[in-house]
Structure 1
Amino acid sequence: MDQLQIKDLEIFAYHGLFPSEKELGQKFVISASLSYDMTKAATELDLTASVHYGELCQQWTTWFQESTEDLIETVAYKLVERTFETYPLVQEIELELKKPWAPVHLPLDTCSVTIRRRKQRAFIALGSNMGDKQANLEQAIDKLQARGIHILKESSVLTTEPWGGVDQDSFANQVIEVETWLPASVLLETLLAIESELGRVREVHWGPRLIDLDLLFVEDQVIYTDDLILPHPYITERLFVLEPLAEIAPHFIHPILKQPIRYLVDQLEQGNA
């Protein structure tokens, strides 16, 4: 993908763990690469399809100086976050933040941190069977958007019978496709935080829930850790997930089974017949 390169932008600011760093300040140096499609800007002279690097450098300077942080990792992360928020056309950012005057007291040219993030698409299943179910789904989506997660598609809301053998009310189920630069593990943490904010209490396994947010896919990533399994391990067993997923992404290929979602729906329906 096309890239805009900015190298060695110098900014004087007051970040650091030590009191002297916050009192006296020091020089920081930013280098970054922003990836986006430049075709429209280049061929049609469309400035809205471009990033004004002069304005961006001024914005970085303003953002950099408006607060004081202990860690340069925090500063770099916030710069990446604000840049994605301000320039939706940017698909990937690699940003290096150098601290040439770091208080190391040894021969040192500079120390730096580099953060690399790219936008990716993910699918999230939403469910609720307590209170105002429709409102619960809408609140969850609002909270995702408030965290900078862009909603690309929303399926219809389906009314489905509970799954898992626990006697309870029917569910309102939905699947959405989102775009986010958050890594899969952080996206999962975000979903759990939203569940908590909306009042979900985990008392009965597969039991009633005010809101349920399941991370189904993050592009074609396959992850197996104690905290996260991708793709979601129960996708192929749940019509209430597959049907709304097929509505918005029938041709998405399951990265392990190598089959499109529409085919997985057919398989499960035939098996239940």
Structure 2
Amino acid sequence: MDKIYLNKMEFYAYHGVFSEENKMGQRFYVDLVLEADLQPSATDDDLEKSVNYADGYQLVKEVIENNTFNLVETIAETISTEVFAQFQIVERLTVKVTKPDPPIPGHYESVAIEITRERK
């Protein structure tokens, strides 16, 4: 399966279990890997047979910025559901949501979750 990568998309949003996260907001990074047969688009040099990067970015932006979720897992699951609904070419995807500044004590670069889903 061929892959389309949208790497380290950055958003500011209001997700989290703690009330201060929903009030103050924070940064989120999303990596998205879309798996599909890209040979038809490559052979015909036709964007309509692929996934436009801008459309993929816009989909993720709308999920992240127009909703409020407690869990980053829910962000990732919602992105996966929306991708399958909007892009019929995608057969499998991986979504990684990174929270660089969660309100937990300690020294670390970030926390993240990653899910992989296949079209049913």
TM-score interval, smaller chain: over 0.9
Match of 1:14 in 2: 14
SS of structure 1 residue aligned to 2:15: coil
Q: Which residue of 2 aligns with 1:37?
A: 37
1:78 maps to 78
The answer for the alignment partner of 2:61 in structure 1 is 61
**Equivalents in 1 of 2:63, 2:111: separation in Å?**
21
Q: Which SS does the other structure have where 2:9 is aligned?
A: strand
**Partner residue in 1 for 2:94:** 94
Q: List 4+ stretches of structure 1 deviating above 3 A.
A: none
Aligned residues: 120
Per-residue CA deviation, residues 125-176 of structure 1 (Å, 9 max, x unaligned), is xxxxxxxxxxxxxxxxxxxxxxxxxxxxxxxxxxxxxxxxxxxxxxxxxxxx
Distance 2:62 2:88 in 1: 19
Q: Give 1:29 shift.
A: 0.3
Larger RCO of the pair (alpha carbons < 8 Å, separation 6+): 2
- Name which one, 1 or 2, has greater alpha-carbon Rg: 1
Letter matched to residue 87 of structure 2: Y
SS of aligned partner of 1:56: helix
Q: Secondary structure at the match of 2:41?
A: helix
SS at match of 1:48: helix
1:58 shift after superposition: 1.7
Distance 1:74 1:93 in 2: 15
CA RMSD of aligned residues (A): 0.9
What TM-score results when the alignment is normalised by the length of structure 1? 0.43
- C-alpha separation in 2, matches of 1:76 and 1:38: 24
Q: Distance in 2 between matches of 1:98 and 1:105?
A: 17
List alignment gaps of at least 5 residues for structure 1. 120-179, 181-273
Shift of residue 54 of structure 1?
1.5
CA contact under 8 A between 2:91 and 2:118: conserved in structure 1?
yes
Match in the other structure for 1:2: 2
TM-superposed deviation, 1:46: 2.1
Using the alignment, how far apart are the partners of 2:63 and 2:6 within structure 1? 16
Q: Percent identity over the alignment?
A: 28
In structure 1, distance between residues paired with 2:15 and 2:44: 42
What is the aligned partner in structure 1 of residue 109 from structure 2? 109
List per-residue Cα deviations over 1:162-199 (Å, max 9, x = no partner).
xxxxxxxxxxxxxxxxxx1xxxxxxxxxxxxxxxxxxx
Q: Give the distance between the partners of 2:86 and 2:113, measured in 1 at CA.
A: 22
Question: 1 or 2, which has the higher strand percentage?
Answer: 2
> Secondary structure of 2:89's match?
coil
Aligned mates of 1:8, 1:111 — CA distance in 2: 14
For structure 2, the residue ranges without an aligned partner over 5 or more in a row are none
